[in-house]
Amino acid sequence: MLEYLKTLENHKDAYAVKMLDGPNVDSWTYSDYLHDMKRCAYQLEAKFGPIEGRHICILANTDYRYMVLLGAIIFSRAVAVPLNNLETVENLLFAVNQVESDILILSEYAEKSTFKDLLLVSEETLFDGMAVSPLEKELFDFKDEEANKLALILFTSGTTSLSKGVELSVFSLFGNKRKFLPLVYMNGTEDALNSIGYTNFPMYHLGGILAWLSWTQNGCTICMSKDPKHMLSDLENITIDYAVVTPAILKMWVNCIKRGQKKRIGNPKHVVSGGALIEPTLSKFFMDNNITVAQCYGMTELGNLVTVNYDMENHIDSIGKAMDGVDINFVDGELCIKSWSNMIGYYNNPEETKDCLKDGVISTGDLGYIDEAGYVYLTGRKKNLIILSGGENVSPEEIESKVYENPLVKECKVFEKKDRIAIEVYANNQDEQSIREYISDLNQTQPAYKKIYFVEFRDTEFDKTASGKIKR
């Protein structure tokens, strides 16, 4: 078992986090981080009493304080449950109830009255308390006998309208030291200490969790934007070594480079794409501009990256080779993976767990193949989950169920078009305008990545399967 807290102590003088806000940068060392984690744990127990074993939800912006909260909760032997702060109130309440949480930590911007049945505390209250009190809770690294304890629940979108809480154990998080970058990316050395990385992945996404775990384990400096909308003005004031971002961000960066504004993306030497597959043309553009590119593959249920492609020049369409400790097989064309970091299961959802996880092997729902050199290629999805270039997972059924609440809609089918959500509707011709207005109103209640950008109508019913389901 990795001694994570001891690792933080060993890196005590290095910078752990830099929060970027234009020309202003707030920085914390690893020593700061460890002590803040302990002070936060003390404040939590001063507020709520012993928290061991309790499920604590976090609804806040991704920043340094979020990392402090994660460490304080998990090393107090409680279960951390990051929530998507872009989600609807309806889905947030569902998530909180599903994981049986009674404590919610939320930012000052969240609407507290929505969660009146929970024990609430704002980030500001906790961190104000830390500022005036030096008291700390003693925290300890996990022992081997704690490996199977539940430590983290992350929500993932599925092919049904309800989100599922993925249970990740202590071993999933700290069972092994996570590799950083190969030697070629680190100028011939495995020492990543003081190297500077940037990420835009939020902490409710596996990408954010992995950046937190792998970079802090290796003594890297994590850079994040205080306001992600100001990413370019933030990065032009700092030089980074590498970035782990979504393909959507890489597309924006391409435009900067084309305009001769490489400084506005922090002059990275390396970029790693995660959350969705990068288009080969993007990879080639970065390589042509002396920025190495890697494509990685993982999913919440796997608890880690399981393949990484560091040789994009020769295998530009591949998601890479299996990482150490990962076994890959294809069953009827479906990618199936056994890894040391695999989930325990879906929280309180044995039926869904049984469908996905069997004998320690996860069926990913992705179709593909593996070549003679061990490189894995994806060819499609077994089920219907839409993955946008920003890494967001969208369940078509969730959106369809909301559209079906309008009685004028006879049938509908959600799909992806131009990296946006689109819908095709079967209805009477005279009802089309009313349905468009309904969808426009519906969009006002949805996060940006779930908004319906394209509405198409048809004059006939959809083709259906033998069981009466609309064919995808």
Domains of the chain by residue range: 4-377, 395-458
Question: Which superfamily is assigned to 395-458 in CATH?
Answer: ANL, C-terminal domain (3.30.300.30)
Greatest CA separation for the chain: 70
What's the confidence (pLDDT) of residue 160? 42
Answer for the pair 66, 58: CB distance below 8 angstroms, yes or no.
yes
The reported pLDDT for the residue numbered 51 is 98
Tokens standing for 132? 């005036």
Q: What is the pLDDT of residue 464?
A: 79
Contacts of 358 (CB under 8 A, 6+ apart): none
| Per-residue model confidence (pLDDT) at position 193 | 79
DSSP 41-90: HHHHHHHHS--TT-EEEEES-SSHHHHHHHHHHHTTT-EEEE--TTS-HH
Q: Distance between the two ends of the chain, CA-based, in angstroms?
A: 44
List of the chain residues with pLDDT < 70? 109-111, 113, 157-162, 180-191, 465-468
User: Cα(68)–Cα(52) distance, rounded to whole angstroms?
Assistant: 17
DSSP state of 459: S
Position 466 scores a pLDDT of 53
Which of left, alpha, beta for 267 (phi over 0: left; psi -120 to 50: alpha)? left
4-377 placed in CATH 3.40.50.12780:
yes
Q: Which two tokens stand for residue 110?
A: 């969240």
Q: Contact 292/269 with Cβ under 8 angstroms?
A: yes
Query: If you write DSSP's letter for every residue of 81-128 in order, what string do you get?
Result: EE--TTS-HHHHHHHHHHTT--EEEE-TTS-GGGGTTSEEEEHHHHHH
3-class SS at 303? coil
Closest among 364, 355, 358 to 334, alpha carbons compared: 364
Identity of the amino acid at 217: Q
Question: pTM of the entire structure?
Answer: 0.85
What order do you get walking across the sheet with 420-426 strand by strand? 411-417, 420-426, 452-458
Of the candidates 107, 113, 126, which has an alpha carbon nearest to the alpha carbon of residue 40? 126
pLDDT in tens, 339-360: 999 999 999 999 999 999 999 9
